[in-house]
Amino acid sequence: MRSNASATAAYYDKDGKQDLNLKGGHAVQAWIDYDGVAKLLNVTVSPFSWKPTTPIISFPVDLSSVLLEEMFVGISSSTGLLSSSHYLFGWSFSMNGLAPSLDLSTLPSLPKPKKKTHSLAISTSVAAFVLLVVAVIGGAYLFYRIKNADVIEPWELQYGPHRFCYEELKRATKGFRDKELLGCPPSTKAEVAVKRVSHESKQGIREFVAEIASIGRLRHRNLVQLQGWCRRRGDLLLVYDYMPNGSLDKYLFDNPPKVVLSWNQRLRIIRGVAAALVYLHEEWESVVIHRDVKASNVLLDADMNGRLGTSAWQSSTSTGATPLTRTGKATTSADVFAFGAMMLEVVCGRRPIEPKALPEELILVDWVWELWLAGRVSEAVDHRFCGDYAEEEVNTVVRVALMCSHPTASERPTMRDVVRYLDGDADMPELRSPLPNEDRLSPVAFDDFVHSYPSSSFEKVSS
């Protein structure tokens, strides 16, 4: 409440203005007079029974808007929201003229002050108990913070921009409830996905984190951006852009799928992933080999654009399309081979190996080769298109996919050439059948290859 007029407690006598202590323990009398004609409110106080001639407050105010014909009138000794510090012994009221004077002799005497010894002891005990509880809670909280604090070693400071606070990620994901966690950390103000992985690599944690930070510097519209990381004891948390439409394989292999991707959507996804691989192989500061190009590692953003996953340490399981050399050393041509297999997955809506398929259809690339040589490629096209696709574009994609899937690395095109072929900016060379039928791409041909999967799905190669 805000007062329209206020003044320090005082009264006027023949010697002038005298200050008045309202907490002095002595009786004080107050007069409140309102002149309806002059519309003037006067307040006068005095420690005596007589009324001073000069009021302490004289304030012009029109009360006609609040005064009714019939209403209740009362006076309170309240001093605000806290408990009252005054006693009201008596009062009188009159609508017209002076109110009757109070007979002070009939009023009750001032109550004696209560002894403070007992209340002081209680207050002291309560205060001590509260302090003890606060100290215990504070100590427990401090112990929890120290126990769960992020341990940041000096060498980690150089990767500072990509390091997230563990508690920040925990709050953003509501306690890491799911395997694939979504949240909106305050430091990013954008929805991100968080993946928790265990560090089981033989390489040192320092090199491990350095590789993550390096991957985090990759920038391309068709790569899933790795925003950062967090290290907590034996766990690593990877933070990357959230892709609302999930992975490509769900749309290709789920039966029935949530949505059947049109041919135009699939072609745009293929071109996007190809552009991302050109960036990794040729346009970044050093050559980067992805090593995990497959439909399940292609994520779709809100506009169904394909983005190649960049989060390291994803599970690497054989897809039946593993073109590693006999030394197990990955090369850019290995990415090209995997991209060729992925293109066939997209066109055909089938996995590289279908255990339940007919023997001649078991290995996708072998089957498509047979159909290509027989001039029956349309039989391999995903039946869910219902014939709604551009035949010439499909033939181009299948032809490029078979070139990429050639078992001889030197026969495969570069990703730069792949983009040119897909965009129609270069003439494609003659497609040559790789090997005789019996040796083409059967599982036996790869039995003696070293299947070596690194801790990271990316590998940098010196230029």
Quote the tokens at residue 121: 């002891």
H/E stretch holding 300: strand 298-300
CB 280 within 8 A of CB 217: no
| 256 cis-preceded (ω within 30 degrees of 0) | yes
Q: Spell out the CATH class of 154-241.
A: alpha beta
Based on the number of CB atoms within 10 Å of its own CB, is 62 exposed (0-12), middle (13-18) or buried (19 or more)?
Answer: exposed
Question: Distance between CA atoms of 214 and 280, rounded to whole angstroms?
Answer: 12
For CATH 1.10.510.10, the residue range(s) in the chain are 248-461
* Fold adopted by 248-461: Transferase(Phosphotransferase); domain 1 (1.10.510)
pLDDT of 283 reads 92
The residues, any chain, with a CB within 8 Å of residue 319's CB and separated by 6 or more, are 294, 341, 351, 352, 353
Which residue numbers in the chain have pLDDT < 50? 160-161, 180, 182-188, 202, 312-328, 438-456, 462-463
pLDDT of 92 reads 85
Q: What is the DSSP letter of 186?
A: T
For CATH 2.60.40, the residue range(s) in the chain are 1-106
Q: What is the chain's alpha carbon radius of gyration, rounded to the nearest angstrom? A: 42
Quote the tokens at residue 127: 């205060």
Question: Distance between CA atoms of 281 and 158, rounded to whole angstroms?
Answer: 26
User: Which residues are marked as active site?
Assistant: 292
The residues, any chain, with a CB within 8 Å of residue 431's CB and separated by 6 or more, are 372, 399, 402, 403
* Strand partners of residue 193: 182, 240
Helix (H, G, I), strand (E, B) or coil at 89: coil
pLDDT of 325 reads 33
Question: Distance between CA atoms of 278 and 101, rounded to whole angstroms?
Answer: 102
pLDDT of 454 reads 37
Based on the number of CB atoms within 10 Å of its own CB, is 192 exposed (0-12), middle (13-18) or buried (19 or more)?
Answer: buried
pTM over 0.75: no
> CATH number of the domain at 1-106, please?
2.60.40
